[in-house]
Every structure is written in structure tokens, then in C-alpha cells.
Amino acid sequence: MEDNTAVIRMKRDFDAFIHGTGSKSTPMFRLDQSDISNDSHLEQSSVSSLSVKSLLDKEKENKSKEAEVIALRSQVTKLKLELSSLQTSNKRVKIDLEKDCELMQMEREQEVEKVVEMKAQLQYIADKEKQTREELLECHKELERRKASYEEKINMFRKEKIHLEQELQEAKKKAWEKLTGVKNELVRTTEELNICRQELDDTKSQLVLQLRHSSDLESHLKELEDYKNKAAIAEQKVKEFELRISSMEEDEKVIKAMKSQLTSFEELERENRKLSVENSYLKEIQENILLLKEQNESLKGKLDRSEQRMSDFSKLQIECEDMKLRLEKWENADKGKSKVQSPEEMSKRIAELQRTEALMLAKQGQMQSSMTSCESELRVVKGECQDLKTELIREKQKVQQQADFIKRLQKKLLLVTKERDGYKSIIDSYESEVTVNIQAGTSTHIQQLEEGIGGYKKQIQFQEEELAKSAEQLSESRRQNIQFEKRIRELEQATHANQFSQCDQEIILQLREKIAGLEKELEAKEEKVLVLEARIEQRRLQGDYDPTTTKVLHFKMNPVKIAQNQRTEEIKALQEENERLKKRLQILEESGGKVEDLTVQVEQKLQEPGSAKDIEEMKTQLNSAKLKNERLMEAFKKTSQEFREVCYRLMGYKIDIPCTNQYRLTSMYSESPNHFLLFQQSSSGEIQMLETEFSTSLKDHIDMYLARYDSIPAFLSSVTLDLVSRQTISIG
């Protein structure tokens, strides 16, 4: 019983101990004095105290574990809440991506439908192109047939022309035989010239006499002038005397008896008589002077007439020498043949030659009309062929455009697939990772897009350079084409004047072949231009645009723009930090690691004018200035070329500058490229003409317009008129 009560007591103490842990009271076992005194129960109490300690330790461990479990459960709930929020956001992103995928799928289906439609259109265009090619082949065959027939006709006309030229040469030979009668006329002209020479000698002698007489008259005129002066003095004296006489008359009325006045009056009368005699003599001399003047004028008229006769005589001498030379030529050409004995025979032969010439001209007119009709038919056929070529080019262009459009669609499809794969990779990354760094994904996506845009810009720049090169080549080919057309016109005029000589025809054929080759090159360049324009259009469809024709509107709070600005600011800050660190490193290397106020020195170094940033800005400004200068030079070249072309067409002279202050003028009507005029401008601004091979043949124009009137524009216009008249004479 005592053992049982001891065990029960121990249990109670243990319970009290457990309940007392919260109040931090020390456990106390209630043992009776009887139990302590008993030695038998000592061992049992020690065993029970050990078991209680082990139980207490276990209880503490359990409570600490329960507290850890509670903390872990709270963390688990928090993580569950975070997971649920992430799952909701992930679901939203998935929904947005699914919507985008559906839209992309719909766009892809639409593009596939468009591709199918374009393929059908392409097939239709290919069939149409086959038909047009067949029609073109038929047209080429028909053109070759017509060309062969026209060539046969042209050969026939050439044979007839050669025959007619032979007949014309025979007629000319007969005409040379009939021109011997000109000798009689030349003899007559020589006799008349001798008579004119005699008359000229007489007029010369008369002229010498008249010159002597005119010298005498001049001396008489001088004497007359002296007499006139004396007469004027005498008249003044007479007036003075009249005044005196009037005063003396008054004095006579006052003093009648004075002898001195009477004597003076008699002297005045005598002087008056003398002066009246002198006055009459001077009047006679004045009449003689008038007669001498009339005689002098008549002699001057005779002198002018004699000078005119002298000039006519010199012209007649020149004409006589020309006639003699022509006569010698005719005689040399008419050796060993029958000569015309009378002018009647000469007139008859000339009439016969005129008739034959009229018949030949009529035949020539018929041949020319037939040639013009053939040429007009050939032009019509060429026009039809050109129309067919243009239609073929249009169809090819359409096919090229369709092919380019298909390529564009394929590239767009490729871009769409790339974007789809990118979205898939983003979705996979969202699904694979619980915590997703959205900013890193967007930055990588933006970087990829920027790389793509950079590639597009490089390709656009390359295509624009190709377009500029092709435009330059096109302008050069057009300029060459214009020059060849001018050359062909000149050659056609020359061929019409020279009746289509064989050499000119070969030159025309060569030039036509060159023109055909240039036209092919022009077509190829135009096709290249169209291809480049199509590529530019493709770039526009892909997102690029021309800022001069297209205006892009941006959102005010565009998230992409904000992200780009943030990225640029970050890059700028990193660049500044990099520059600052470079300067710091440079200062440390220069000073060997011993520096005071390093940050201040770095800031001063950055604020120096020779920094990399300033150099880059200066480089950009220099590049922009170079571009502006190049554009201005191109514009100046274009305007100067247009101005020179307009001056050449309006004034008729091409102006070149072989060296400084020298100007070479070549007329558009000049017969040779060596026929040019050379002018030089002095330091004072005066323009002088330098001697050339062509200017030596223009002495009459130089004497007339430069020496006499000192007018360079009048001289140039007279030279132009002379060259035009020469060309019209050669054509006639």
C-alpha cells in the first residue's frame, strides 16, 4: 500500500511540476518524514526523479518543435498566397498571349489566302505573258519580212540612183564642152577693163589737178577769212564813225562855224568812200568763195565716184581672175573634145542640160517620195514594235511587282513566325519559372527588335545607294542618248544633202546599234530602279517610312518609349560612369597611385574641351557639313549643266574653259570641232579675242564688227548667220 501511495504522490508532484513550468516555480516533491526515514524508498525516489527529468526534456523538445511547425505553417500560407497571386497573373498573361496568338493565326490565315490569290494572279499574268510573247514573236517575224522587202526596194532605188548619177555626170561633161564661149565674153570684159583703166588714169590726173586747185582754194579761203576779219573791224569803225557823225551833227547845230569839224567831216567822207569800196570788194570775194565751195563739193563727189569706180574695178579684177581660173578649169576638163563655136550652140546645150536636169530632179523627187513613204511605214512598224515592247515591259514589271509582293509576304510571314516563336519562348519561360523577371525579358526583346531595325536600316541605306547609283547611270545614259540623237539628226541632214552615201549609211547603222544598246541599258536601269522602289516600298510595309511624306503619331505615355528612354538614360549613365572610371584610371596611372582629391581631378578632366564626347559631337557636325556641301555641289553641278545646255540651245555656242581666264566658244553649226573661237579676259575685265585657225578665215567679220563697232555679240551673231547660210547652201 505504501508503494502504491508513493507512486500516486509522485504522479501528483509531476502534474504540479508540469503546471508550474508556466509560473517558473521550482518543482517540489512532498515526501513524508516516514518516507525519508525509510532507506528502502530512497532508491525508488532517485529513479523517479531521473524519469521526471527525461520527461521534462522531451516535453520541451516537443513544444519547440510545435512552435517551429506553427512558424513553418505561417510561411507556407504566405507562400501559398504569393503562389496564388502569381498564378492569377500568369493566367492573365496566358490569356493575353492566347488572344495574341489567335490574332496572329487569323492574320496568318488571311495572308495565306492573299498568297493563294496572288499565286492565281501570277499564273494569270504568266499565261498572259506567254500570249504576248507569242504575239511579239509573230510581230518580229512580220517585221523581218517587211524589213527584207524594204531592203530590196532600197537596193533597187540605190541602183536607180547610181544609174541617174552616171547620167548626170555625162550631162555635166557635155556642159563643160559648151562653156568655151565664155572666152569671148572674157575678152570683152578685158577690153572693157582696159577702157576702165584708161578712164581711171584720166580721172587720176583730173584728181591731181583738182587737189592742186583745192589747195589753192584753201589758201584763198584763208585770205578770205583775213579779209572778213578786216571787214568786221572796218564795220566796227564805221559804226564808231557813225556815232561820231551823229555827235558831230549835234555839234554842228551847236557850233556851225568851226573849221576843224568841216575838215574832219571831209576826212570821214573820204574814209567812208574807201570803206564802201572795200565792202563791195569783199562782197565780190565772198561770192567767189561760194563758187569755189560749190566747185569743191562737185570735185569731192567726182572723187567719191572715182573711188567707187576704183573699188568696182578691183572687184572686177578679182572676178576676172576667178573667171580666168574657172576658164582654165573648164579648158583642162574639156581637153580633146569638141568645143562650142557660138553662143547659140551654148544656149541650146544649156537648154538640153536643163531639160535633162529637170527630168533627173523629177525622178529624184519620185524616189525621195517613195523613200519617205517607206520610211513612214518603217516608222509605223517601229512604233508598233515599241508599243509591244512597252506592253511587255509593263507585264514584266507587274510580274516583278507580284513576285516582290510575294517575297514581302513571305518575309512578313517569317517575321510573324519569329515573333510567334519568341512569344512561345516567353510563355515557356513563364511556365517553367515561378518567379519571372519581366524587365529582363522585355529588355532582351527590345534588344532583338533594335538589332532587326539596325539590319533593316543598313539594308535600306544600301538600297538607297544603289538607287542613287542607278539614277546617275540613268541620267548619263539619257544624256548619251540625247547626244546620239543629235548626232543622228545631223547625220540624217548630211545624208539628205549627200543623197545617202555608203559611208554615212554605215555610220548611221553603227549609231543606231549604239542607240539600241543604250536603250537596252536604259530599260535595264529602269527595271533596277523599279526593283529598288519595290524594295523601298517593302521596307515601308515592314515599318520603315519616309519622313518627308509620312507623319508618325506616337502615344503620349507610350510604354515602349518610356522603356527606351529609360534604357538610353541607363546607357548614358553607364557611358558617363565608364568615362569617369577611365579618367580615374588614367590619373592613377599618371601619378603612380599617389593622388589627392581624385574625384575633383576627375571632374576637371571631364570638363576639359578635348573630351571624347566633344570630339564625337564635332565629328557629327563635320559629317553633316560634308553632306550639306556634297548636296550643294550636286545641285550646283545640275543647275550649271542645265544653264550651259540652255545657253547652247538659245545662243548657239557651247562655252568651255580650257584654262583660267580663257573661254572657248564652239558653234552648233560649225563644220568641224576644230572650228572654235578663243577669248581671254584681262585683269581689268576687258575681253579680247585670241587668234585661232578658224578666226583667220573671218577677217571680214572681224574688221566689220570688232574693229569698226567693237561689238562681240554682233560678231558672234554674224558668224552664226554665216555658218547657217553655208549649211543651207550645202543642203540646197
For the chain, give the mean pLDDT: 72
Provide CB contacts within 8 A for 484, sequence distance 6+: 511, 514, 515, 518
What is the arithmetic mean of pLDDT over 171-195? Answer: 67
Q: Are 385 and 143 in contact (CB under 8 A)?
A: yes
Question: Residue 4's pLDDT is what?
Answer: 57
Spatial strand order of the sheet with 687-690 comes to 653-656, 662-667, 677-681, 687-690
Look up residue 346 and give its three cell numbers: 551654148
Look up residue 242 and give its three cell numbers: 557813225
User: What residues does 688 pair with on adjacent strands?
Assistant: 680
What is the arithmetic mean of pLDDT over 181-191? Answer: 67
Question: Residue 542's pLDDT is what?
Answer: 60
pTM equals 0.23
The residue whose grid cell reads 538614360 is 569
User: What residues does 665 pair with on adjacent strands?
Assistant: 655, 677
Question: Residue 252's pLDDT is what?
Answer: 60
What is the arithmetic mean of pLDDT over 182-199? Answer: 70
Question: Residue 44's pLDDT is what?
Answer: 53
Q: How is domain 652-731 classified at the CATH fold level?
A: Copper Amine Oxidase; Chain A, domain 1 (3.30.457)
The larger pLDDT score, comparing residue 96 to residue 173, is at 96
What is the arithmetic mean of pLDDT over 141-159? Answer: 78
Nearest CA to 448 out of 415, 411, 408, 407 is that of: 415
Q: Is the pLDDT of residue 500 over 50?
A: no
- Residue 590, H or E segment: helix 559-591
Q: Are 644 and 655 in contact (CB under 8 A)?
A: yes
Question: Residue 126's pLDDT is what?
Answer: 77
Residue-wise pLDDT for 346-396, tens only, equals: 667 677 777 877 787 777 777 777 777 767 777 776 777 677 677 777 777
Question: Residue 502's pLDDT is what?
Answer: 56
Residue-wise pLDDT for 57-108, tens only, equals: 777 788 888 888 888 888 788 888 888 888 887 788 878 878 877 888 888 8
Residue 46 pLDDT grade (very low, low, confident, very high; cuts 50, 70, 90): low
- Residue type (1 letter), 44: Q
Provide CB contacts within 8 A for 280, sequence distance 6+: none
Q: Is the pLDDT of residue 451 over 60?
A: yes
Residue 730 pLDDT grade (very low, low, confident, very high; cuts 50, 70, 90): low
What are the extents of the domains in the chain?
437-552, 652-731
Question: Residue 590's pLDDT is what?
Answer: 74
Provide CB contacts within 8 A for 160, sequence distance 6+: 363, 367
- d(CA 323, CA 316) in angstroms, rounded, equals 10
Question: Residue 365's pLDDT is what?
Answer: 76
Question: For 458-469, b where at least 16 C-beta lie within 10 A, e where not — what string?
Answer: eebeebeeebee
Residue-wise pLDDT for 674-714, tens only, equals: 888 998 888 888 888 888 888 888 888 888 888 888 888 99
The larger pLDDT score, comparing residue 191 to residue 496, is at 191
- d(CA 577, CA 573) in angstroms, rounded, equals 6
The residue whose grid cell reads 557635155 is 174
Question: Residue 158's pLDDT is what?
Answer: 75
- Asked which of 248-252, 502-506, 535-539, 615-619 is least confident by mean pLDDT, the reply is 502-506
Residue-wise pLDDT for 717-728, tens only, equals: 988 888 888 876
- Ranges 219-228, 330-339, 465-474, 605-614, most confident: 219-228
- d(CA 648, CA 672) in angstroms, rounded, equals 17
Q: Is the pLDDT of residue 644 over 60?
A: yes
Look up residue 62 and give its three cell numbers: 516537443
Question: Residue 622's pLDDT is what?
Answer: 84
Q: Is 198 exposed, middle or buried (0-12, 13-18, 19+ CB in 10 A)?
A: exposed
What is the arithmetic mean of pLDDT over 572-601? Answer: 75
Output Rg (C-alpha) for the chain, integer angstroms: 62
What sign does the CA torsion over 275, 276, 277, 280 have?
positive
Residue 428 pLDDT grade (very low, low, confident, very high; cuts 50, 70, 90): low
Question: Residue 29's pLDDT is what?
Answer: 42
What is the percent of the chain where pLDDT is above 90?
0
Residue-wise pLDDT for 509-539, tens only, equals: 777 777 777 777 777 777 777 777 776 766 6
Question: Residue 225's pLDDT is what?
Answer: 75
Look up residue 133 and give its three cell numbers: 510573247
- d(CA 654, CA 333) in angstroms, rounded, equals 43
- d(CA 54, CA 50) in angstroms, rounded, equals 6
